[in-house]
Amino acid sequence: MNFIETDLPGVILVEPDVHRDDRGFFLETYHARRYAAGPIPATFVQDNHSRSEARTLRGLHTQVEPGQGKLVRAIEGTIFDVAVDVRRGSPAFGDWIGVELSAENFRQLWIPPGFAHGFCVTSASAQVEYKCTEFYDPADEIGIRWNDPAIAIDWPIDEPLLSGKDAAAPLLGELTRLPSYLPPEPKAGA
């Protein structure tokens, strides 16, 4: 199993070990001890599953307090999955990364609390499952406009299918309530 640090500190790309043979494949989609050592020491409390048609874009969403970490994977089709650092005071505030997750590559993306999340479907349809570290709370959720020019995400689709809520989301600069950045604690002995 590989845990790959991305250009966005704290966001981890996971490449699980996939065992294939003539019958198909087998993999562990989550193993608490391995992920904690990997380093994703999260306790998950909710699993979500969505199905979306081609060109659907969901996001950008986050929860403020408590923040909600997500471990995302595509189980059918292909998505372009995005994380944006929206922690006020973070050196990476407004930075984003995007990765392809698919049923074929088995990759997962760990998006820690304090980051906004969104994805778009680049195949005919896609099913996405993700584990969450906190329960969904609509009163705590904030949305950020998918095409905010200050973030400038290079989405691989034009004219996405959006929910009314996502289409009307504010720009990042218009939000007054955002997660706060907490600098990492120094390592022992440092």
Name the active-site residue from 30, 31, 49, 130: 130
Retrieve residue 68's tokens.
Answer: 């909600």
| Interatomic CA distance for residues 103 and 74, integer angstroms | 5
To the query of whether residue 61 is one of the catalytic residues in this protein, the response is yes
Distance, C-alpha 124 to centroid of its chain:
21
DSSP 3-state of 107: coil
Cα distances (Å, whole numbers) of residue 7 to 68, 78, 85, 136: 20, 22, 11, 27
Q: Where are the alpha helices (DSSP H) in the chain?
A: 32-37, 164-167
- Tokens 């778009």 correspond to 120
For residue 18, give the nearest of 103, 99, 106 by alpha carbon.
106
Are 45 and 138 in contact by the 8 Å Cβ rule? The answer is no
Instruction: Give dist(CA 139, CA 127) in Å, integer.
Output: 26
Active-site residue, selected from the candidate residues 61, 117, 136, 181: 61
Question: So which residues are the catalytic ones?
Answer: 61, 130
